[in-house]
């Protein structure tokens, strides 16, 4: 028999009144591509610039920058971790790793798109080396929870890293190994983070972009393991 449970429904209108709990059945496994929602052709219309940094959300980005995508559960709190870092040109929240083209927030929350809530980070590696970004990622959430993050339950909350070049992938895999060793030494669980090359990133609605800057004290579901991640080093 299907298991029912409570999960956080965090729509923008709901959030202004506080967190609303919706009784619902959520899928525990990723949807098959053949069963994913069809989506739409036109991309989401969003604000042109970052609410905090003032930089262009959709580019163009400086030539020296690189892009990577992080899934850490609720993307509201996760994005705030990154826009505060020196060397980040722009951040944005959206939907990554799934099948449905140009989904909206409700569709992603249904678990029928295959996407996870993700943060796009465009950074200058000369100022902010990727290993330092990865330290923020690993320590900023619990990467052992599978299809959940704290009270947020569902495939759209899974931990994930999506890379855009082979050098990033090598550094990510090394940091996975090293932080996995640190978790094991502290008696914590096994990392369940999805790691793969990036698919198309679909920007989330403007209301979700830089949400905690627009709504100070708003919901943030992040919670780390308390385990320190060493700055990943090559052997």
- Residues involved in catalysis: 74
- CA torsion sign for 6, 8, 13, 16 is positive
What is the DSSP-derived secondary structure letter of residue 49?
B
Angle (nearest 5°) at CA 165 between 118 and 51: 35
Pairing of β 194-197 and β 159-163: parallel
For residue 213, report the phi and psi dihedrals to the nearest 5 degrees: -75, -35
DSSP string, 164-229: SSHHHHHHHHHHHHHHHHHHHHTT------EEEE----EEPPGGGTTHHHHSTT--------SPPP
């Amino acid at each position: 028999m299907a298991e029912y449970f409570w999960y956080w429904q965090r729509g923008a209108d709901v959030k202004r009144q506080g967190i609303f709990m919706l009784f619902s059945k959520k899928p525990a496994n990723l949807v098959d591509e053949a069963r994913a929602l069809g989506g739409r052709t036109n991309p989401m219309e969003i604000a042109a610039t970052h609410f905090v940094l003032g930089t262009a959300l959709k580019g163009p980005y400086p030539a020296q920058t690189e892009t990577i995508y992080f899934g850490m559960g609720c993307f509201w709190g996760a994005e705030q971790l990154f826009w505060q870092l020196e060397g980040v040109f722009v951040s944005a929240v959206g939907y990554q790793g799934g099948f449905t083209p140009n989904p909206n927030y409700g569709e992603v929350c249904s678990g029928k798109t295959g996407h996870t809530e993700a943060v796009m980070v465009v950074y200058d590696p000369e100022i902010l080396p990727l290993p330092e970004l990865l330290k923020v990622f690993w320590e900023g959430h619990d990467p052992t929870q599978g299809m959940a993050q704290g009270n947020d339950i569902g495939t759209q909350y899974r931990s994930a890293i999506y890379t855009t070049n082979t050098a990033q992938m090598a550094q990510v895999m090394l940091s996975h190994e090293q932080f996995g060793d640190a978790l094991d030494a502290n008696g914590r669980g096994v990392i369940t983070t999805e790691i793969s090359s990036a698919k198309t990133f679909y920007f989330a609605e403007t209301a979700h972009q830089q949400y905690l800057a627009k709504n100070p004290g708003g919901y943030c579901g992040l919670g780390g393991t308390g385990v320190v991640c060493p700055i990943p080093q090559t052997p």
